[in-house]
Amino acid sequence: MKRRPQLVCVVGARPNFMKIAPIYTALERPGTIDPILVHTGQHYDEAMKDTFFRQLGIPEPDLDLEVGSGSHAVQTAQIMQRFEPVLEDAAPFAVLVVGDVNSTIACGLVAAKKQVPLIHVEAGLRSGDRTMPEEINRVLTDQLSALLFTTERAARDNLLREGIAEDKIHFVGNVMIDSLLGHLDQAFPPAETLARHGRKWPLNSNNNASDYAVLTLHRPSNVDDPEVLGRLLQTLTEISRRMPIIFPCHPRTDKMIERFGLDGLIAASGIISTPPLGYLEMLGLIRSARLVLTDSGGLQEETTALGVPCVTLRENTERPITITEGTNTLVGSDPDAIFTCVEDILNGGGKRGRIPARWDGKAAQRIVQVIEKKLL
């Protein structure tokens, strides 16, 4: 029997999992391609990895490279070293990478040097900020790619400006939103999530169940500097006196809060800190929140898709459509800007936004169709 052509699909870190899940399903449906799932092991904890595989229905990886944490150089180098023999054994017709994490560029670089066509999902996003490790990963991965799938129209212009040939670029929509739409009906009610972490529900005395904000914070620029993190948490503490803030805390941030002695500040505030939450827990929390405060890329898109106001605690975004069409507002880390934006949302309801083009749950199907047409 003739072997089906093999496509190596790479995942490494939490935001990759919701992107690969719908692609995997879409690949399995027509069955013309044999997907091989490789997890680099960049994220490895139950809460950062296994919960997501389970909730998103991603099969056990065919291979786990088990690289774990490390500096950028160490992590990237180890992924490359362990990924190279995988390509030699599998001889796939292409390698597919998603997003902008270290696993994306590391595997992309190995594939390109082995002359295996590279497919990049979520190509062309640019913050213009090269102090962000992800920006370097994005620019370089796009340069190496044979097929580039974009989520918003501005991405194509960015790629053309960087000399990428137009016929490699395909505007397919957003696989992260495929996952969101496919799992909304399974999202966990906030009461259940909070109860599991020993919190009563509703959180506030006026009994309005939706009267809370969700906070996530993990960008090195926000959490690795004691002054910046201290100022942000001080500001958020003040906001939490008006409205409880649920704060699923990333392991990097958790470590920094402890190192800088900021735990006391949170304990004395209306910020309810929990360990990292699963995909279905987060979806349920965000959907019903009054607003979301975040420095995550994915949450800017998920809040736009859900019509929930998003206050982005960054100076720039690589996802401009969430501002021009969605519910997102950039405020940076300046306390006054954060207070003003939150106040506007609480008083006026915030931006309503509209759903961007092709964020319709069908991005993964389009991707598979293009791969079959262009690479098989």
Q: Which residues contact ligand UD1 by CB under 6 A?
A: 13-15, 42-45, 48, 69, 101-102, 133-134, 218, 250-252, 255
DSSP conformation class of 286: H
Kindly tell me which of 90 and 277 has the beta carbon lying closer to ligand UD1: 277
Kindly tell me which of 18 and 203 has the beta carbon lying closer to ligand UD1: 18
Of 261, 266, 260, 256, give the one whose Cα is nearest residue 233.
266
Q: How far apart are CA 327 and CA 369, in angstroms?
A: 31
Kindly tell me which of 43 and 362 has the beta carbon lying closer to ligand UD1: 43
- Report the nearest approach of ligand UD1 to the CB of residue 140 (Å): 12
Of 262, 255, 306, 297, give the one whose Cα is nearest residue 276.
255
Phi, psi (rounded to 5 degrees) for 13: -125, 165
- Report the nearest approach of ligand UD1 to the CB of residue 138 (Å): 10
- Report the nearest approach of ligand UD1 to the CB of residue 217 (Å): 11
- Report the nearest approach of ligand UD1 to the CB of residue 255 (Å): 6
DSSP conformation class of 6: E
Name 37's bridge partners: 9
218 is catalytic: yes
Q: How far apart are CA 297 and CA 265, in angstroms?
A: 26
- Whether the Cβ atoms of residue 374 and residue 343 lie closer than 8 Å to each other: no
Of 88, 131, 207, 154, give the one whose Cα is nearest residue 321.
154
Kindly tell me which of 15 and 173 has the beta carbon lying closer to ligand UD1: 15
Kindly tell me which of 252 and 374 has the beta carbon lying closer to ligand UD1: 252
Kindly tell me which of 25 and 102 has the beta carbon lying closer to ligand UD1: 102
- Report the nearest approach of ligand UD1 to the CB of residue 47 (Å): 7
Q: How many CB atoms lie within 10 A of CB 163?
A: 7
Reduced to 3 states (helix: H, G, I; strand: E, B; else coil), residue 22 is helix
- Whether the Cβ atoms of residue 167 and residue 148 lie closer than 8 Å to each other: no
- Report the nearest approach of ligand UD1 to the CB of residue 339 (Å): 26
Catalytic residue among 120, 170, 183, 218: 218
Cα 60 to Cα 18, 24, 151, 370: the distances in Å are 15, 12, 27, 26
Q: Which residues are catalytic?
A: 218
